């Protein structure tokens, strides 16, 4: 699409439902979840090269998000347990949390050092937590009965 809105075209046409699109700031790669074979699969797609990779994770892949230089994070769900994972460039994954609590709305800092997400510690009560990837520590930021959701980080320092 041009800046004036002309020459719009569909970038991605699929028959299956798609969700949670994230674009890399450093390559032409898009990451999204696609419902295939009864599960949400992670798809890495480079539209300029026409290359597509599908992660063979043994469960559902939700909320993929890029952070830092080519770091890709996602929430993985297996048998009703949810945890945060990091995908390596070799297409293997590392679990970053290990509590199994429901999680949603994953967001990464631009430098990839921290992740924010919503977690349901008490039934019906979603709060925001931040995972510091350097210190390997999770801090719960909110603890109210309001439904906090969709945390984001500012892309630049705010003064």
Domain ranges in the chain are 18-140
Q: Which of these CATH numbers, 2.120.10.30, 2.60.40.1260, 2.170.150.20, 3.40.190.10, describes 18-140? A: 2.120.10.30
pLDDT in the model for residue 90: 80
Contacts of 13 (CB under 8 A, 6+ apart): none
Tracing tokens 């999770």 back to the chain, one arrives at 138
pLDDT in the model for residue 8: 78
pLDDT digits (tens, 9 = 90+) for 29-41: 999 999 999 999 9
Q: Are 97 and 116 in contact (CB under 8 A)?
A: no
Q: What is the pTM of this model?
A: 0.86
User: Is residue 157 predicted with pLDDT exceeding 70?
Assistant: no
Q: Are 38 and 75 in contact (CB under 8 A)?
A: no
pLDDT digits (tens, 9 = 90+) for 98-130: 999 999 999 998 888 999 999 998 888 899 999
Q: Report residue 80 CA to chain centroid gap.
A: 18
pLDDT in the model for residue 27: 83
Q: Are 131 and 117 in contact (CB under 8 A)?
A: yes
Residue 159 confidence class, pLDDT cut points 50, 70, 90: low
């Amino acid at each position: 699409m041009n800046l004036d809105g002309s020459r719009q075209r569909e970038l991605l046409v699929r028959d299956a439902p798609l969700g949670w699109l994230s674009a890399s700031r450093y390559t032409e790669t898009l990451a999204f979840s696609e419902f295939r074979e009864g599960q949400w699969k992670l798809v890495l797609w480079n539209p300029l090269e026409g290359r597509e990779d599908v992660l063979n994770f043994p469960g559902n892949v939700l909320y993929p998000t890029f952070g830092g230089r080519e770091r890709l994070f996602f929430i993985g769900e297996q048998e009703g347990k949810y945890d945060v994972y990091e995908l390596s460039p070799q297409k293997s994954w590392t679990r970053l949390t290990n509590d199994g609590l429901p999680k949603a709305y994953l967001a990464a800092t631009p430098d990839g050092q921290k992740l924010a997400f919503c977690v349901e510690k008490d039934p019906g009560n979603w709060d925001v937590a931040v995972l510091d990837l350097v210190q390997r520590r999770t801090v719960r930021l909110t603890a109210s009965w309001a439904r906090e959701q969709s945390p984001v980080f500012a892309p630049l320092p705010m003064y």
